[in-house]
Chain A
């Protein structure tokens, strides 16, 4: 009953460092998503993967890369972190992105870039 699992939960980086946020779901969902949440901004879509083997840009993709490793896993990479990327990152999945697209979220990863 894990649902969507994100690691790490907390991370502090220095400007210019790189890191990868990991996400895994055990619900056999086809679609996976990465969002960032900033105060007063709601959630903004960074990248999504409609199905295994495909990825597409969302609203705010600059500075990020993603990999859909297999059906279960979808990672988000920051190649050269910037203070503007300080945020809470949420991974989500949905069974059928072309239909209702109800999202199941992970608990979030809080990233601070100094």
Chain B
């Protein structure tokens, strides 16, 4: 079974608005990562947050992690049409070798 579950499944916003995606997971983790997938392409790593961190920033991306609730959120600020893609959270188990993905959130940013 998959580790992460994402919410919402799909999100449609206007350019310039912020987009928030949430991820929940089930077991102890070493770290949690977010990936992006453009249509018909492979996944690209965006950001990683370790289990002892609560918040991480990278450009227009902000990730939070709440290990007590086993949840994470990805915020994309000032979204652009080019941000249209699917976004996946992925958890790395405490052993370190298995990266398990959620089902993803499809983001559509209207110009």
Mark A residues whose CB is within 8 Å of B. 4, 31, 33, 35, 40-45, 48, 50, 56, 58-59, 90, 92, 94, 97-108
For A98, give the chain B residue with the smallest CB separation.
B96
Q: A41-B103, A45-B99, A90-B42 are in contact. List 10 more A-B contacts (CB 8 A).
A: A42-B4, A43-B43, A43-B88, A90-B43, A101-B92, A101-B97, A103-B90, A103-B99, A104-B45, A108-B40
The number of residue pairs between A and B whose CB atoms lie closer than 8 Å in the complex comes to 68
- In contact, B97 and A59 (Cβ under 8 angstroms): no
Let me know if B98 and A48 touch, CB within 8 A: yes
Residues A59 and B41 in contact, CB atoms below 8 Å apart: no
A51 to chain B, nearest CB (A): 9
Question: Can you report 6 residue pairs joining A to B where beta carbons are below 8 Å apart?
Answer: A45-B99, A90-B42, A100-B31, A102-B48, A106-B42, A107-B42
Chain A residues with Cβ below 8 Å from B92 are 100-101
* B98 in contact with A45 (CB, 8 Å): yes
In the bound complex, what is the Cα–Cα distance between A108 and B44 (angstroms)? 12
